[in-house]
C-alpha cells in the first residue's frame, strides 16, 4: 500500500458562514458546496470539510469540537507578504516568524487562530 497524499480534513466549527469568510477572505481558500449542500474550503489540491458543531456528518471524529484542530498551510509566496496581509486584515500573529520542518523540508512559519481558535500555521518553503 502506497500513500498518494492528503485529500481532505474536517474541522468542526460554531459558524459555517464565519469560517467560510475567514478562510476565503484571509487565507485564500475557495468555498465549495457538495453532497446535499455541505460546505468545504478548497485550497490547492486539498480541501477542508466543515461540520457545524452539534450537526456533524456521520461518521465523524469521536469527540468533534471547535478549536481542536492544528493545521499547517503551505503557501507559494514570501512570508513577509503573508505577514503584511495578515496585519492589514487585522489578524493577530500569535507566534513567528519561526523556522520549522515541514513534510518536504525546512519551512518558515507564522501562527494565527481562526474564528474557532484552531491553530493555523502559515508557512513557506525555505
In tens, the pLDDT along 84-116 reads 999 999 999 999 999 999 999 999 999 999 999
Residue 1 inside a domain? The answer is: no
Residue 99 inside a domain? The answer is: yes
The pLDDT score that the predictor gives to residue 73 is 96
Q: What is the DSSP letter of 76?
A: S
Phi, psi (rounded to 5 degrees) for 106: -65, 135
C-alpha cell at 70: 492544528
What range does the domain containing 41 cover? Answer: 8-125
Residue 61 inside a domain? The answer is: yes
Residue 111 inside a domain? The answer is: yes
What's the total number of domains in the chain?
Answer: 1
The pLDDT score that the predictor gives to residue 19 is 98
Catalytic residues: 121
- Kindly report the pTM of this predicted structure: 0.94
Residue 83 inside a domain? The answer is: yes
Residue 44 inside a domain? The answer is: yes
Residue 91 belongs to domain with CATH number: 3.10.180.10
Residue 2 inside a domain? The answer is: no
The pLDDT score that the predictor gives to residue 85 is 97
The segments of the chain whose pLDDT lies below 70 read: none
Are 81 and 35 in contact by the 8 Å Cβ rule? The answer is no
Strand partners, 39: 33, 50
Residue 3 inside a domain? The answer is: no
Amino acid at each position: 500500500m502506497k500513500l498518494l497524499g492528503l485529500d481532505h480534513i474536517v474541522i468542526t466549527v460554531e459558524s459555517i458562514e464565519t469560517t467560510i469568510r475567514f478562510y476565503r477572505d484571509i487565507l485564500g481558500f475557495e468555498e465549495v458546496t457538495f453532497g446535499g449542500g455541505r460546505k468545504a474550503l478548497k485550497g490547492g489540491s486539498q480541501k477542508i470539510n466543515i461540520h457545524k458543531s452539534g450537526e456533524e456528518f456521520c461518521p465523524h471524529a469521536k469527540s468533534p469540537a471547535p478549536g481542536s484542530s492544528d493545521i499547517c498551510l503551505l503557501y507559494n509566496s514570501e512570508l513577509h507578504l503573508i505577514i503584511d496581509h495578515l496585519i492589514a486584515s487585522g489578524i493577530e500573529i500569535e507566534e513567528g516568524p519561526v523556522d520549522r520542518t515541514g513534510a518536504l523540508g525546512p519551512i518558515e512559519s507564522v501562527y494565527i487562530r481562526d474564528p474557532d481558535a484552531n491553530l493555523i500555521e502559515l508557512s513557506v518553503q525555505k
